[in-house]
Amino acid sequence: MQFFRSEELKQELDDVDSLTEDLEAGAVEARGWPAEFSAYKVAKAAMNAYSRVLARRHPALRVNVVDPGYVRTNMTRNSGLLAPDEGGARVVAVAAWRCYRKAARPARSLAAARRRRPRSCDRRVASTSTRARRIQPCCSSSRRKIMEGAISVPANTRVAVVTGGNKGIGLEVCRQLAGNGVTVVLTARDEARGGAAVEKLGELGLSDVIFHQLEITDASSIGRLAEFLKTRFGRLDILVNKPSMSL
């Protein structure tokens, strides 16, 4: 809580045990808690704290929490200040940071890669001229080998998982990552909604998006996704975990 700036939030979270009891008793309003968003604030505070724990425990991983801003999605009943692509860009700027850092060295490689196109396959080149630090694929992904049961992605192509990818900020994150040459595993709890989202991205010419079902609150569902990633790719470079307001 030392990291929170809002005194009001600190006060609310200071007595989280009572909040939980009152929530279970259906007495949140009656006992004077703010009527809206108590559970939301607790969930986000827990997410912040857990991310700090993960970052400390796994120094080899880059763990971040990103505030996308107030975005027009179902969750905000489309009342946000930012369009989904603007909110998504904030997340992608952090998620793709490592790709950018690697690909950006040395600066002249961008021109060199352009000259070589389409000879070399799957090399990603970062443009330093954009604020969003976009990564541009330098040749068509259709040349990638797709083998039975396994997708062979070259070592310098990133593999990302996006949870809650069927709509809102998640769908935007999928679109922007795939548009920047990342192979995306779009997950959703509902197969039909997830499949429809993949189709929608396919219509935009983004074919490196694969659907996998994921119910984020179900450990066996998470296990199935982990197994799928291991078998198909043998690795995971980026995880964007963003489903639901209270998760």
Residues that bind ligand NAP (CB under 6 A): 67-68, 70-71, 73-76, 80, 163-164, 166-170, 188-190, 193, 214-217, 242-245
Measured distance CA(202)–CA(186) in Å, rounded:
12
Nearer to ligand NAP, 53 or 245 (CB): 245
Q: Which two tokens stand for residue 178?
A: 């795939």
- CA torsion angle for 173, 168, 209, 136 (degrees, to 10)? -30
User: At closest approach, how far in Å is the CB of 37 from ligand NAP?
Assistant: 10
Nearer to ligand NAP, 121 or 216 (CB): 216
User: At closest approach, how far in Å is the CB of 138 from ligand NAP?
Assistant: 31
Nearer to ligand NAP, 189 or 232 (CB): 189
Please check whether residue 214 is in contact with residue 239, taking contact to mean a CB–CB distance below 8 angstroms. Answer: no
User: At closest approach, how far in Å is the CB of 63 from ligand NAP?
Assistant: 16
Residue with tokens 């793709």: 96
Measured distance CA(233)–CA(71) in Å, rounded:
32
**End-to-end alpha carbon distance in the chain:** 19
User: At closest approach, how far in Å is the CB of 243 from ligand NAP?
Assistant: 3
Residue 212, phi then psi, degrees to nearest 5: -140, 135
Q: Which two tokens stand for residue 217?
A: 């609150």
Angle at 24 between CA 22 and CA 28, to 5 degrees: 35
User: At closest approach, how far in Å is the CB of 196 from ligand NAP?
Assistant: 10
Nearer to ligand NAP, 14 or 191 (CB): 191
Nearer to ligand NAP, 90 or 133 (CB): 90
DSSP 82: B
